[in-house]
Structure 1
């Protein structure tokens, strides 16, 4: 049986961890207020030379909440956050919670159709928006939504110094019919926030799924979910107020919401924001700020290894490094360690599990599955139960592939206004993840692939992850994605789409031969396409579905 409720691995891999994560606060607002009381003068956010203390963050988020209340905002109402990694995101999210509301995180890459769908689905009545996004996207779609107040802001505000690498071409934009966010805060600063204390099971966030397999759905993330996994990160990575959090994960994504914002609100460790990722700027920022902890996607770590300044000593302080959002190949971990001298620890989770359900304990090296070549995503975090089940829902033996089913305090109670989707995904509080994997005899878990991504080549089953991991072993390959495409003989066959490392050269035939030498005959790609960039979500997940040919009409 593959049920995983006990923690026999803790004595071996993480003896200092509590047997069960016990959050010290019932909700995210109380969690934050406890940190403010401990260290009001400590840095909460650092943004291009501007240091925002916890006391200032408390005052500004109070002002936001007071302003919402003055506008008639009620507990349970929604505020959509359509901005990048800037301090205003954190201010508005905290202020929304203080007003008893639900923060709706919006991917800043969304265009009009996507934004309109999310605003209509969430029923948000307030939109916090970058000026440029209001001009280019939001202004045209708001008439068909419930939004009655738009607060616009700029990435150029709340900073001290300029940084041409990320702000080149960015200008202030006049937004008629909107309210400037910083003026809104100034008008209400000093006013008391509404006397609302969220309950643990109140919804804190509507966190929309990345849409890798279909339209995004709003996972209802509760205050209990947020506090539990903030505590998980604190305990797993050994975090405290002396740490510095490097915010490379998008704040709208569940990883950024928990591993960046919630961790800072819990621990008192300052959060360093950089608006958007620039690899060389990131290396300089780690050194300048003494960043110690980060969670990023595989694409972040690939980008850092290809930065012009990459090399030994460049990330000296960054000793607590985790990768999440998408499985990371062993070859990428090895390359990163060879360049910077630091090991990347895997974490695994979904939007619906409020970030981690599994993790590799800090200081422990994850094993590699000898059959699939996959790097382990870790072991279940404290308080979490995980099973591997077959198509009939029954537990499978150790080592057999099946669907990963997760239960624990971090699992979302369901999807916003989607009872049928909730019923399919959640049964008796356990989440059917849609991911295929297995557990070994030592309790390590391995994620092989998404169930929907399996390729059937003439009756032989091929998991794209296995082929991709082999492609990543080639020194010229920067990123890789494998999909199934129609084939007259096999019905479906394997195709690889790759991008190359700067200055590298390789032909499709050479990559085909490279994989043919390392994989069974039915697994290696019959077609290889080389592109400049692979399509991705803003969190770094490669969108395989955009690489598949469209279905033929009936």
Structure 2
């Protein structure tokens, strides 16, 4: 299929159409490079504690040395189950330097989810927090885990916070766990004291060697391990730095709220910082007030986030007390960005907030709006350099015409190698050498792409195809709405019907009738929600993506119990 690329004529002159990619460089080569170029520059700021690039590299080498002393072999899988903290960065590069494959693991996983991922990935090592040790230790009898490395938030806190931390834990009724450095349980802090920064260097083929298994969200079926190579992730990181062409090497600072165990945070905060010598300002969890205080005090210039994060900040009652003007630019990912949120955030910060698009299978970014150029509201923007995108029409078995709906497909150096141990699922996800995203959308004549909805989220009601995102955009414009998600729920007559789940802004009251009247003014009758449910909060993933599928499953369970 011959691919037309009208979007290339839209590129600002600072963004090349094709990048010269470092095919021979591994991800850990970039850490070594920054440690040599910026040895004393702050790589990580964590709750008052700072680590330089040479310190991060040195500690990553020590951890790699310790892994190898325990017998870690090339391509063995190591699970990292940590929030955003210095240990998460050191562990990531330590695993890669030792020749292992990183398995990013959500610290919120309960035992069943953790057991599934550790079994599927066949991980032999896991690095986790002391708070999580009781849960993780049970996995040794159930999986192939041989060694558990345990760390604590206080290990990288400055004095006197490190001494006060256990008291704060007790005060907040958090579990205080004491773990000894013995047998197959190892203390991260002790490793840093006893290990040497000398390692056996394994040959790395960046194009073919897997750097990490990035598990999909599992919102539909069981999560799958996405095999991302060093080249996949490094290519996408280089595209990201090119897109932000006004940012200066070695001079920017990034607010790291998006978790590193999510591919978006891993690329746009951790790998981007390491590649470009930026400072990472890390927060172990998202709290709106803490985030506002941090921006006001530490003045980050870049702030990748998710719509729910920006919404929470904009609706915080104290937002006017903080100076957010340091923020130059933000790329929003993981979920559609409502236009109203984009405009309001730019007004408050004076920076630029644009929507990007991607998926775990593409390391993750494939499209974004121009940060300092023309952009179109409601669009995910245009493909990044070296990235090809088409809208695949099933009707014509080929490329759709401009403005014709179809499934978006991607080709480029950031596209995964496949799913771990899932040959059939891998083959079903590719058509020839194009990755099928599962997202329904279209491209306009200029080359801007638009997502209408997930193929699996489309609502089929009374013979009509209804796309939840369109309805959500309308409801987000209502002055009382804080968050909203729309889903198709079972209906005996229409097959499915449209239901809106709404979280109101603080102090607001509303009725179904009020929203019904509002929706009818802006939507065709068949798209208007038939049911409204007002909630205090919506179920979300750790990165802030609203779990539409969880709400649909709730409805199905209700119906089953009613019958």
Equivalent residue, structure 2, for 1:319: 328
State how far apart, in whole Å, the 2-side matches of 1:524 and 1:475 are: 18
State how far apart, in whole Å, the 2-side matches of 1:427 and 1:63 are: 43
Secondary structure, counterpart of 1:499 in structure 2: strand
1:197 to partner: Cα distance: 4.3
Structure 2 residue corresponding to 1:225, chosen from 220, 225, 232: 232
Structure 2 residue corresponding to 1:208, chosen from 206, 215, 229: 215
Number of equivalences: 543
1:285 to partner: Cα distance: 1.2
State how far apart, in whole Å, the 1-side matches of 2:530 and 2:499 are: 6
Equivalent residue, structure 1, for 2:277: 268
Preserved contact between residue 7 and residue 448 of structure 2 (Cα < 8 Å): no
State how far apart, in whole Å, the 2-side matches of 1:7 and 1:271 are: 32
State how far apart, in whole Å, the 2-side matches of 1:488 and 1:173 are: 52
The answer to whether the aligner puts 1:66 opposite 2:65 as a matched pair is: yes
State how far apart, in whole Å, the 1-side matches of 2:219 and 2:374 are: 29
State how far apart, in whole Å, the 2-side matches of 1:513 and 1:338 are: 30
Preserved contact between residue 22 and residue 228 of structure 1 (Cα < 8 Å): no
State how far apart, in whole Å, the 1-side matches of 2:499 and 2:38 are: 54
Structure 1 residue corresponding to 2:429, chosen from 425, 428, 433: 425
Residues 407 and 289 (structure 1), Cα distance of their counterparts in 2 relative to 1, 3 Å cut? same
Equivalent residue, structure 2, for 1:378: 381
Q: Write out per-residue CA displacement over residues 477-527 of structure 1, whole angstroms, 9 at most, x where no aligned residue.
A: 111111112223322211001111122222222112211111000001011
Equivalent residue, structure 1, for 2:20: 22
1:439 to partner: Cα distance: 0.5
Structure 2 residues without counterparts, runs of 5 or longer: none
The answer to whether the aligner puts 1:91 opposite 2:90 as a matched pair is: yes
Preserved contact between residue 392 and residue 408 of structure 2 (Cα < 8 Å): yes
TM-score by length of 1: 0.94
Preserved contact between residue 5 and residue 384 of structure 1 (Cα < 8 Å): no
Equivalent residue, structure 2, for 1:102: 101
Secondary structure, counterpart of 2:32 in structure 1: helix
Residues 512 and 340 (structure 1), Cα distance of their counterparts in 2 relative to 1, 3 Å cut? farther
Preserved contact between residue 414 and residue 426 of structure 1 (Cα < 8 Å): no
1:31 to partner: Cα distance: 1.7
Equivalent residue, structure 2, for 1:372: none
Equivalences for residues 388-399 of structure 1 within 5 A: 388-391=391-394, 393-399=397-403
Preserved contact between residue 226 and residue 258 of structure 1 (Cα < 8 Å): yes
**Greater Cα offset, 304-313 or 521-530:** 304-313
Secondary structure, counterpart of 2:211 in structure 1: strand
1:89 to partner: Cα distance: 0.5
Residues 143 and 359 (structure 1), Cα distance of their counterparts in 2 relative to 1, 3 Å cut? same
Structure 1 residue corresponding to 2:478, chosen from 445, 456, 474: 474
Preserved contact between residue 245 and residue 292 of structure 1 (Cα < 8 Å): yes
1:297 to partner: Cα distance: 0.8
Equivalent residue, structure 1, for 2:198: 192
Preserved contact between residue 324 and residue 348 of structure 2 (Cα < 8 Å): no
The answer to whether the aligner puts 1:442 opposite 2:446 as a matched pair is: yes
Preserved contact between residue 2 and residue 398 of structure 1 (Cα < 8 Å): no
Preserved contact between residue 388 and residue 396 of structure 1 (Cα < 8 Å): yes
Preserved contact between residue 389 and residue 411 of structure 2 (Cα < 8 Å): yes
Equivalent residue, structure 2, for 1:144: 142
1:21 to partner: Cα distance: 2.2
1:341 to partner: Cα distance: 3.6
**Greater Cα offset, 173-182 or 138-147:** 173-182
Equivalences for residues 151-300 of structure 1 within 5 A: 151-160=149-158, 162=161, 169=172, 170=174, 172-175=176-179, 178-188=185-195, 190-200=196-206, 201-238=208-245, 239=247, 240-300=249-309
Preserved contact between residue 462 and residue 523 of structure 1 (Cα < 8 Å): yes
State how far apart, in whole Å, the 2-side matches of 1:94 and 1:122 are: 19
1:441 to partner: Cα distance: 0.7
Preserved contact between residue 388 and residue 404 of structure 1 (Cα < 8 Å): yes
Q: Write out per-residue CA displacement over residues 302-356 of structure 1, whole angstroms, 9 at most, x where no aligned residue.
A: 1110223213862111111110011111122123234334331111000000021
Preserved contact between residue 18 and residue 386 of structure 2 (Cα < 8 Å): yes
TM-score by length of 2: 0.92
Preserved contact between residue 509 and residue 528 of structure 1 (Cα < 8 Å): no
Equivalent residue, structure 1, for 2:123: 124
Preserved contact between residue 455 and residue 464 of structure 1 (Cα < 8 Å): yes
Secondary structure, counterpart of 1:294 in structure 2: coil
Equivalent residue, structure 2, for 1:489: 493
**Greater Cα offset, 14-23 or 320-329:** 14-23
State how far apart, in whole Å, the 1-side matches of 2:390 and 2:384 are: 13
Preserved contact between residue 327 and residue 349 of structure 2 (Cα < 8 Å): no
State how far apart, in whole Å, the 1-side matches of 2:140 and 2:78 are: 14
Preserved contact between residue 418 and residue 426 of structure 2 (Cα < 8 Å): yes
Preserved contact between residue 3 and residue 388 of structure 1 (Cα < 8 Å): no
Preserved contact between residue 353 and residue 371 of structure 2 (Cα < 8 Å): no
**Greater Cα offset, 316-325 or 155-164:** 155-164
The answer to whether the aligner puts 1:358 opposite 2:362 as a matched pair is: no
State how far apart, in whole Å, the 1-side matches of 2:482 and 2:140 are: 40
The answer to whether the aligner puts 1:49 opposite 2:48 as a matched pair is: yes
1:182 to partner: Cα distance: 1.2
Preserved contact between residue 360 and residue 377 of structure 1 (Cα < 8 Å): yes
Secondary structure, counterpart of 1:280 in structure 2: helix
State how far apart, in whole Å, the 2-side matches of 1:77 and 1:118 are: 15
